[in-house]
Structure formats: structure tokens, C-alpha cells
């Protein structure tokens, strides 16, 4: 199984977030990414948000 990650540095934001999240499954990564997007970036958990986040998933580990 390949580890996956999402990196906030890829999306410009007002808070200049530098958080990167990783997990062993898409489902686990999605739940962590949604929680982060809602609690830190004040997004609403919608199917559209989840679809956008999914496009930002990468295999491997985030760059240093």
C-alpha cells in the first residue's frame, strides 16, 4: 500500500498554512483533510470540497 499525502502549501491562503497530512488510505486522509479544512480554513464540509481535496492527493511523502 502506498502512503498518500495532501499539502496546504500547494493552495494559496490568507493564513499561509504549511500543514501537510499523510495517511495509508484515501478515506483516512480525506477525513483528516476535511477536519483541517473546516477547523483551520473555515470551509464547509460539502461534496464539492471533498472532490477538490481529492484532486490534491499525492502518492508518497510531502516534500521537506
**CA neighbor of 35 nearest in space, from 22, 26, 44, 23:** 44
pLDDT, position 42: 93
Q: Is the pLDDT of residue 10 over 80?
A: yes
Mean pLDDT along residues 18-31: 96
Specify the pTM.
Answer: 0.91
Q: Is the pLDDT of residue 1 over 80?
A: no
Residue with cell 488510505: 25
Residue 40 makes CB contacts below 8 A (sequence gap 6+) with 15, 17, 19
Give the CA count within 13 Å in the CB-facing half-sphere of 48.
2
**CA neighbor of 28 nearest in space, from 47, 45, 3:** 3
Q: pLDDT by residue (tens digit) across 31-64?
A: 999 999 999 999 999 999 999 999 999 999 998 8
List, in sequence order, every residue forming a beta bridge with 20; answer none if it has no partner.
Answer: 7
Amino acid at each position: 500500500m502506498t502512503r498518500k499525502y495532501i499539502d496546504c502549501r500547494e493552495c494559496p491562503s490568507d493564513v499561509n498554512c504549511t500543514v501537510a497530512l499523510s495517511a495509508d488510505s484515501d478515506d483516512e486522509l480525506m477525513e483528516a483533510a476535511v477536519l483541517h479544512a473546516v477547523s483551520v480554513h473555515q470551509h464547509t464540509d460539502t461534496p464539492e470540497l471533498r472532490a477538490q481535496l481529492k484532486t490534491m492527493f499525492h502518492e508518497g511523502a510531502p516534500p521537506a
